[in-house]
Amino acid sequence: MADSDVLPCAHSNKTVQADIGKTRQADSSPETADSVRAPGKARGILRHAPGPGVFHHARIAPAPPLAGVVQHFWIVRWDLEGSPPQVRETLPHPNVHWVFEPGLTRIQGVHTGRFTRVLEGRGGVFGVKFRPGGFRAYLDKPLSALRDASLDGAAVFGAEAAVLEAELFAARSDAEQVAAAERFFLARLPPADPEALRAGEIVDAIASDLSIGRVEQASERWRIGARSLQRLFNEYVGVGPKWVINRYRLHEALERLAEGIEVDWAQLALDLGYFDQAHFIRDFKALVGRPPADYARRG
C-alpha cells in the first residue's frame, strides 16, 4: 500500500492529551488538486497477492504554500462486497498522519512497528501525511509524545476539526476532498520554523542517501552533535535518527527484493550499511515477520 501511509493504525495503543500550538492565519487560496501534483514513488509496502474486488488509491501533493507542512494527501476506497477480506501491510515512514474514516478519525503519531490492516466490505479513508517536522507547530509538546499514539483532531484544531471531517465525507471526488483539506490548512499555516525544516531535510537525505548508515555520519554532515540531533528528532520527528536510518534501509531492501532478481544477501547487507548479513536478517525478520530469503521467495 503506497508510501507506507495508507490506512495508518486507527487504534493505537495509547492516546495523548494535546496542547494546541499557536499558528497564524494565511491569506493564500487553495489550488485544485490534479495529477500534475502527484508525489514520487511509493516505498515501504509489503507485497501481497491481490484478490478480487475494487480498490482505489491516490496520492496528491499539496498546494505549494503547504509543502513545508503537508507531504501529501492520500485517498483509499475499496469495495470487497462478496469477496474475502484482504490484508495490507506496510513499514510506515517517520510521519504524522491525520486519518479520516467514519467512526475512526484520529491524528496518528509515527507508528514504529509493522502496520497491518484487514480490508473488508466497502469503505474509504482520506489521509493527511504531514512532513517530518511539519506537525510540530500544531502541538505544544515534542512529537515523541505522539509516537505509537493517537489523539482526537478536536484536541488540536477545536470544533473546526469536525467541520473538516464533514466536508471530506460529503465530497464527491478526490479533488473536492483535497481542496477542502487545503483550505483548512492554508487558513492555519504556521510561520516557518527553521528547526522543523532542518529536521525534515535530514530525514529526506537519510531516505535518499544510503551512505548515511550511522547517526555519527548524519551528525558530521549537518555539523550537529549526536545528542543534539537526537533532541531535534524527538522534538520534531517523533522518533530518533537511528530509527529513521534503519527504517529507510529496510525500505531499500524491500524495493530491491521487489525487483525479483537473485540476491546476494551478504552484498545487500553491506550495501545497506550493515556490518554483517546476520544483523540485516535479524532486523528484517523482526519487522517484516519472516527472513528476507523467505519473503523474496514467497512474497
Residue 284 belongs to domain with CATH number: 1.10.10.60
pLDDT mean over 58-70: 97
Higher pLDDT, 257 or 245: 245
pLDDT over threshold 60, residue 238? yes
Residue 273 predicted with pLDDT over 50 = yes
Q: Percent of the chain beyond pLDDT 70?
A: 85
- 36, 178: one domain: yes
- Counting Cα atoms < 13 Å in the Cβ hemisphere of 269 gives 17
Domain boundary among 186, 208, 225: 186
Chain centre distance of CA 227: 25
Q: How far is residue 234's CA from residue 228's CA, in Å, rounded to a whole number? A: 10
Q: State whether 220 and 165 are in the same domain.
A: no
Mean pLDDT computed over 74-100: 92
What's the pLDDT band for 42 if we cut at 50, 70, 90?
confident
Given a cut of 50, is residue 2 above it in pLDDT? Answer: no
149 pLDDT more than 90: yes
Its pTM stands at 0.85
pLDDT bracket for residue 11 (50, 70, 90) = very low
Mean pLDDT for the stretch of residues 100-107: 96
Range of the domain at 276: 194-298
Tracing cell 512474497 back to the chain, one arrives at 299
pLDDT (average), residues 53-76: 95
pLDDT of 29 over the 60 cut: no
Q: Residue 103, class by beta-carbon neighbours within 10 Å (0-12 exposed, 13-18 middle, 19+ buried)?
A: exposed
Other beta carbons less than 10 A from residue 64's beta carbon: 10
**Tell me, what's the pLDDT at 50?**
67
What pairs with residue 77 in β-bridges?
Answer: 56, 124
Helix (H) or strand (E) holding 257: helix 241-258
> pLDDT, tens digit, for every residue of 221-234?
999 999 999 999 99
Mean pLDDT (whole number) for 277-297: 91
Looking at the structure, do residues 162 and 41 belong to the same domain, yes or no?
Answer: yes
Please tell me whether residues 208 and 162 are part of one structural domain.
no
Say whether both 79 and 205 belong to one domain.
no
At residue 24, the pLDDT reads 26
How many domains does the chain fold into?
A: 2
3-state secondary structure at position 286: helix
- In sequence order, the 6+-apart residues with CB closer than 8 A to the CB of 74 are 2, 3, 5, 6, 57, 58, 59, 60, 126, 127, 129
Q: Specify whether 200 is located in the same domain as 127.
A: no
pLDDT greater than 80 at residue 162: yes
Q: Do 84 and 18 lie in a common domain? A: yes
Among the candidates 186, 205, 230, a domain finishes at 186
Please spell the DSSP secondary structure of the chain, one letter per residue: -GGGTSS--SS-S-B----BPP-----PPPPPP-GGG-------BPP----SSEEEEEEEPPPGGGTTTEEEEEEEEEE-TTS--EEEEE---S--EEEE-TTT-EEE----S-EEEEE-SEEEEEEEEEPTTTTGGGBSS-GGGGTT-EE-THHHHTTHHHHHHHHHHH-SSHHHHHHHHHHHHHTTPPPP-HHHHHHHHHHHHHHH-TT--SHHHHHHHHT--HHHHHHHHHHHTSS-HHHHHHHHHHHHHHHHHHT-S---HHHHHHHTT-SSHHHHHHHHHHHHSS-HHHHHHH-
Nearest Cα residue to 165 out of 227, 215, 99? 99
pLDDT at 96 over 80: yes
With vertex at residue 297, the alpha carbon angle to CA 296 and CA 299, rounded to the nearest 5 degrees, is 65
Are 51 and 152 within one domain?
A: yes
Give me the chain's average pLDDT, please.
86
Q: What is the pLDDT of residue 299?
A: 60
**Mean of the pLDDT values across residues 155-177?**
98
Is the domain of 271 the same as that of 150? no
Query: Are residue 88 and residue 218 in the same domain, yes or no?
Result: no
Show which of 151, 186, 221 is a domain's final residue: 186
Residue predicted with more confidence, 146 or 46:
146
Same domain, 225 and 130: no
Q: Are 168 and 286 members of one domain?
A: no
pLDDT over 50 (residue 92): yes
Q: Where does the pLDDT of residue 32 fall: very low under 50, low under 70, confident under 90, or very high at 90 and above?
A: very low
Amino acid letter for position 1: M
pLDDT range class, residue 39, cuts 50, 70, 90: low
